[in-house]
Amino acid sequence: MKGLVVLVMLACLATAQHQALIDYLERRLLAIEDRISLWHEQTARYASELRELKQQMVAQLENLDKEKEVLRGSLDSVGTRVDRVERELDYLETQNGAQPCVDVDDKLIEQQVTLVKEKQKAKYLKQSDCSDMISSIKAMKILKHVGGPKGTWAKDSGLGSGKVYVFNGTDGDTVNEFPSVQDFARSQGGLSPSTELRLPSRWRGTGHVVHRGHVYYVSRSAEEGEPRVIKYDMRNGTVVDSAVFPARDHVPVYGLSPDTVVDLAVDEEGLWAVYASRHDQRHVSLAKMDADTLDVEHTWDTPCARENAEAAFVICGTLYVVYNTQQPGRSRIQCVFDANGVVADEEAPLVYFPKRYGAHASLKYNPKEQLLYAWDDGYQILYRLAMKKKLEFADPGFHSLTGRSLPTAILDPLRQS
């Protein structure tokens, strides 16, 4: 009997514990269900907030695109207005303003002109009677896009053959020859078809010229010492002459074209060299060379700065230095140096080039055509120049009897009297 009672008590105890376990498990399941329900609610809320945020971001991006288009339109409008203002300024700068009248006897004028010419001959013996000077850029023609961002192209400035020569890059030994400008413009697939001329040594920079059937270039070995100018005869394929250019401790001639150490140029008076050295590394120097012997006949220290200079060329014994900015913009002739002493830099007009692609790697003048052959970021461009006589720029003084401008050297004695 006692054993039965014990069994009953144990069964009751086990039932009570089982019920307590079941109750505990039910409470835990309810708690888990509550948490799952809360998670679902939070997930739904987060998803809704993300959708709202996405919609807001899409709306803001659309607004930004609209503002971007508006800003782009405003910038285009400003650029157009700036170009128009620059053209108007160019026009105003090329016009002669009101000038004071000076009544002078014609004989006195002739005497003063004779004195000025004698002084010029004492400074430098001219090889031509050229007295032209740039007044503006008359026209521009983009001929082709071939080669790298830097290079040189030009026509023989001394012969009437019409052949065009292309130096692609700033370091090489191959020159591409085309029969004419038209053939070069019509050529397809880069620099072919053309005749390749292999030079005996590598050229450096963009300072090469072609004159009277010869290529004048600066040897690649200039990195190891002083620049060496090579004269190469294209007809028989031989080096006619070479000379070490007398510029001690040379530096790149243009601040924006560090590959060019010496820039050779040809004009109506022959062969020139534009260079710079450490003794005056802030400014550009000019030298007149003998095209036959490569001898340096005369040198000048010019006031033209190297900083922000990109290229230069010579016309009628006058050096024109072209400037730009570190971020390529609109090029301009900002410094003029006349080796014959007729025109001072401050008396020369400021000439802007038409807006293009980047910066000039080279500018080569052809005196027979009065054209500039330019290389601009891989584009080959022709500039037609509008010219005037130097005496018109020499001084704001004007002779009322003869109707011509007078140089400063003539007016100074008259003003003193």
Encode 357-385: b = buried (16+ Cβ within 10 Å), e = exposed: ebbbbbbbbbbeebbbbbbbbbbbbbbeb
Q: How far apart are CA 265 and CA 353, in angstroms?
A: 19
Nearest Cα residue to 350 out of 372, 333, 329: 333
Identity of residue 205: G
Confidence tier at 125 by pLDDT (50, 70, 90): low
pLDDT in tens, 376-414: 999 999 999 999 988 654 444 333 333 333 443 433 433
Helices assigned H by DSSP within 162-251: 181-186
pLDDT in tens, 198-226: 999 999 999 999 999 999 999 865 455 67
Tokens of 236: 């028989």
Q: Which helix (H) or strand (E) holds 106?
A: helix 106-123
Architecture of domain 105-411: Beta Barrel (2.40)
pLDDT in tens, 267-307: 999 999 999 988 888 999 999 999 999 999 999 999 999 99
* Per-residue model confidence (pLDDT) at position 106: 55
Tokens of 115: 């004195």
Identity of residue 279: H
pLDDT in tens, 39-66: 988 898 899 899 989 999 998 999 998 8
pLDDT in tens, 342-364: 877 666 778 999 877 788 999 99
Q: How far is CA 379 from CA 152, 178, 382, 385, in A?
A: 10, 17, 10, 19
Domain boundaries, the chain: 1-95, 105-411
Tokens of 148: 């790298």
> Global pTM?
0.67
* Per-residue model confidence (pLDDT) at position 100: 38
Q: How far apart are CA 393 and CA 387, in angstroms?
A: 11
Contact criterion met (CB below 8 Å) for 148 and 138? no
Q: How far apart are CA 380 and CA 152, in angstroms?
A: 9
